[in-house]
Amino acid sequence: MLVQLARRTAILLASLVVASILVFWFMWVLPGDPAQVALGTGATEEAVAEMQARFGTDRPVPVQYLDWVTGLPQLDFGQSYVTGAAIGPLIIDRLLVSLWLIGAGMLVALVIAVPLGTLSAVHHRRPLGTALAGVSQVGIAIPNFLAGILLIGLVSVSWQLLPAGGWVPPDQDVVQFLRRLLLPALSLGVIEGAVLARYVRSTVLNVLREDFLRTARAKGLTPGRALVRHGLRNAAVPVVTVLGLQLAVLLVGAVVVERVFVVPGLGSLLLDGVANRDLLLVQGVVMVLVVAVLLLNYLVDVLYTVLDPRLRATA
C-alpha cells in the first residue's frame, strides 16, 4: 500500500508541475498586453514600457514563470494588474466562501442521493423504485442556475422565507449565514444529489446480486440488515470515485451559482478578473481550481485503496 501511495503522490506532483506550465502558457499567449490594458489605448510607448517594468512582464517568459511558480507554495500569486493589491489573500478569502458553499452542497447531495438511490435499487421492480428513478432523472436534466432561479422565485419571492442572495460570514452572524447559505447549497446539492442517486442505485443493484449478500440473508439477517451491514461498504467503493468527480463538477457549478445568489466566492472572483482582463488574477484562480481538482482525484485514489481490501492486498 505504501508503494502505491508513493506512486500516486509522485503522479500528483508531476501533474501539478505540468498544470502550472499549461496555466501560465495559456495566459501568456492570450492577446493583449496587461500594461496596455491598464493604461488604455491612448498611453505613450514610454508609459507602457514603465508599466511593463512595474508588472514584470518585460522579463523573459521563463523568468516570469519561475518567479510565479516559486511563489505558489507561499501563496504568493503576485499583485493584481488592476488594483495593485496582493492576489493571495484575496483568493484565500474567496476560497473559504466557496468551500462553505461546496461543502454544504455536497452534504445536501449525499443526504438526497444515499436514501434515494438505495430505495430505488431495493424497489427497482416496483412502482416506488420506478418513481424514484424518474425523479432523479428529472433532477439531472435541470441546470444548477435554473434550480437557483426557481428556488429564488419560490422560496424567496413567493413564500418570503429566505433571502434571495448576499453573504454574511459565519463569524459575524451564524443565523444569517445559514439563511443565506441554504438556497445556493440546495441549488447545487439537489442537482448533484440526483446525479449521485443514479450511481448509488446502480452500485446497490450490483451488490444485491452478490453471493455474500445472499449468504448473509441465509444466516438469518433480514434483507435490510444484510444490506446495511455488508452491502453498503462494498457499494461505497465505486460511489467514492464518482463523488470525487462530482466535487470537481461542484467547483465549476459554484461559479454560476455564486453569480445567481451574489455570493462573493472564488467563481465570482474569476468572472470579475475575466471582465477586467486582470490576467494574473485569473491565472491564480485557475491554478487554485486545477490544484483542487488534482487533490480531489488524489484523495479519491487513496480512499479507494482504503475501502477496497483487494487493492491493499495487491499494493
What domains can you pick out in the chain, each with its CATH number?
Answer: 12-86 (no CATH), 88-314 (1.10.3720.10)
The mean predicted confidence, pLDDT, of the chain is 80
pLDDT at 46: 79
pLDDT at 51: 75
Q: Of 187-196, 199-208, 284-293, where does mean pLDDT reach its minimum?
A: 199-208
Residue 299: pLDDT above 60? yes
Q: What is the pLDDT of residues 15-74, one digit of tens each?
A: 999 999 998 888 777 766 677 666 666 677 777 777 777 777 778 888 888 988 888 888
pLDDT at 166: 84
Report how far apart the first and last C-alpha atoms of the chain are (Å, whole number). Answer: 4
pLDDT at 18: 92
Quote the distance between the C-alpha of residue 15 and its chain's center. 18
From CA 162, how far away is CA 180, in angstroms rounded? 7
pLDDT at 267: 83
Provide mean pLDDT across the span 152-172. 86
Q: Of 168-182, 185-199, 292-306, where does mean pLDDT reach its minimum?
A: 292-306
Q: Which residue has the higher pLDDT, 213 or 9?
A: 9
pLDDT at 48: 74
The alpha carbon dihedral of 187, 191, 194, 196 has a sign of negative
pLDDT at 221: 61
Residue 97: pLDDT above 80? yes
Q: Which residue has the higher pLDDT, 126 or 236?
A: 126
Residue 11: pLDDT above 70? yes
pLDDT at 72: 87
From CA 38, how far away is CA 127, in angstroms rounded? 63
Residue 311: pLDDT above 80? no
Q: Assign 235 a pLDDT band (cuts: 50, 70, 90).
A: low
Residue 1: pLDDT above 70? no
Q: Assign 213 a pLDDT band (cuts: 50, 70, 90).
A: low
Residue 310: pLDDT above 60? no
